[in-house]
Amino acid sequence: MSYERFAYVYDYLMQDVPYDGWLEFFNRQADTYGIDGNRVLDLACGTGELSLRLVGEGYDVSGVDLSEDMLHVAKEKALEMNVKLPLFQQDMSQLDSLGEYDVITIFCDSLNYLEDEMDVVNTFNRVYSHLKQDGLFLFDVHSIFKMTQIFINQTFTHTDEQVSYIWDCFPGELPNSVEHELTFFVKHDETGQYERVEELHKQRTYPILTIKEWLKEAGFEILNITADFRNEAPSDQSERIFFTCLKK
C-alpha cells in the first residue's frame, strides 16, 4: 500500500471522519478505567488529526506511522499549531525502542491494513512491551459484517471541484479481506487542471474470538469490547469493533 501521493489529499477526503468519536471513546475509557500518567503513543497516526486532538486534551503524545509523507503532513500541522508532537516512522508490527507509555492507540481501522496474521500478533506483542504496567491499549477494527456485506463488490463515488474519486471494492485473496481500488482526480490550484492518482489499499479483519485469543496470548486483560462508538456490545450487524485492554 502506498500513501506517497495520497497523503496530501487525505485530510480533504477525511473531513467527515468522526475523529471526535475516537476522542470521546478514548476519554470514556480513561475515565472508566483510569490512567496513571499522560504519555500516549498513537500508532498509525496518519496526518496527526487524532494525535493533535489528544495533545489539546493535555496528553503528552507521540505518533508513529509507516508513511513518511503522512508524518510530514502531521509535522507541518504541529508546527502550525506550535505544539510538541514527536513523530517516528516505524512499522507497528516491528515497533522498537520508543520507551513506555500509559496508553497506546491504533484507531481508524488501521490494524486492518495488516494482512498477515503474524503481523497482528507481533503488533500486539510490541504494543505490550511498550506499555507501562496497568497501561491501556485501545484500538478498533472493521467487523466481518462490514468487510463482507458493506465493502465487497461495492462502488463509492464523490465529486466536487477540488477532489473527486471512484472507489471500487473487491474481494481480497485472503479470508475476510477486501481490496480498495481508488482513483482520484485532484485539481491543481495554479493550473486548474486535474491530476489522476491511483491507489490500491488492502484490508483484512478477523473474528472477535480470534482477536481475543491473540490479545490474551500477548498478556493483555480484555476490559471491554464495544461497537460503533457506542458503549454497547457488538451485534451481528455492527460495523466497527472497539477493544479496551489492560497490561497486567
pLDDT at 9 exceeding the cut of 80: no
User: Nearest to residue 142, comparing CAs of 172, 173, 180, 110?
Assistant: 110
pLDDT at 209 exceeding the cut of 70: yes
User: Nearest to residue 2, comparing CAs of 56, 93, 92, 67?
Assistant: 67
What pLDDT, on a 0 to 100 scale, did the predictor assign at position 208?
98
Over the stretch 125-152, which tens digit does the pLDDT of each residue have?
999 999 999 999 999 999 999 999 999 9
Domain ranges of the chain: 7-142+206-247, 146-204
CATH code of the domain occupying 7-142+206-247: 3.40.50.150
Over the stretch 15-58, which tens digit does the pLDDT of each residue have?
678 999 999 999 999 999 999 899 999 999 999 999 999 999 99
CATH code of the domain occupying 146-204: 2.20.25.110
Average pLDDT for residues 220-229, to the nearest whole number?
98
Q: Grid coordinates representing 151?
A: 465493502
| 7-142+206-247 and 146-204 have identical folds | no
User: Cell 509523507 appears where?
Assistant: 69
Question: pLDDT band at residue 1, thresholds of 50, 70 and 90?
Answer: very low
Question: pLDDT band at residue 172, thresholds of 50, 70 and 90?
Answer: very high
3 vs 68: CA distance, rounded Å? 9
User: Cell 495554479 appears where?
Assistant: 190
Question: What's the predicted TM-score (pTM) here?
Answer: 0.92
Greatest pairwise CA separation for the chain in angstroms:
57
pLDDT at 247 exceeding the cut of 80: yes
